[in-house]
Structures are given as C-alpha cells and as structure tokens.
Amino acid sequence: MTNPAITAADLEQNGIIFAVAETCVQALQEAAATATAERFIHLASHQVADAGELTAERVAQHLQETLKALKATTLELYLANCAGHA
C-alpha cells in the first residue's frame, strides 16, 4: 500500500534510504569508469550461465534487457535533474 502523503523530500531525509541511494550512485560511477564491451559480455555470459544454458541468443537477450534497464534509469535521472533545474 502506498502513502500519498510521503514525498520524495521525505524519503531523501530518511538516512537508510539516502545511504542506499548514495551507494547506488557510487556503484554506477565505478561501473561507468571501468565499463567496456568485453566486460559487459563477460559479465552477461557468467550471469546467463549461472541461470541456465549459455547460448549467444541468451547473452544477447540479457544484454538487451540490461540496456533497457540502464536507459530507463538514465532517462529517469536526467528528467529528475531537468525538473530540479526548472
């Protein structure tokens, strides 16, 4: 159940939520600093193999899903930044 009375500002003041969000930012920065196509393929192949049968099609699908999630996150962060400067 959601509470419409809780705002983003309220959540930003929550120490636990803020700490986890900061950790997310740090992880994104570290990933961006070291990301290469080869590393994405290596990571995806390990994740696919751990989940079942390793095939090129499954790795490609996993990478597509990863890209979709990264794009959605990037867009949301960009839009939030634009709204903050409006």
- Looking at residue 1, its pLDDT comes to 54
Among 33, 26, 57, 28, smallest CA distance to 44 is for 57
Report pLDDT digits (tens) over 40-76. 999 999 999 999 999 999 999 999 999 999 999 889 8
Q: Is the pLDDT at 14 greater than 80, yes or no?
A: yes
How far are the Cα atoms of 3, 24, 37, 53, 74 from residue 7, in angstroms, in the given order?
Answer: 9, 20, 38, 44, 21
d(CA 19, CA 60): 33
Token pair 């995806």: residue = 44
Mean pLDDT across the stretch 19-36?
Answer: 89
Q: What percent of the chain has pLDDT over 70?
A: 94
**How many H helices and E strands in the chain?**
4, 0
- Radius of gyration over alpha carbons of the chain, in Å? 17
pLDDT bracket for residue 86 (50, 70, 90): low
- Looking at residue 6, its pLDDT comes to 81
d(CA 20, CA 28): 12
Domain edges within the chain: 23-84
Mean confidence (pLDDT) of the chain:
88
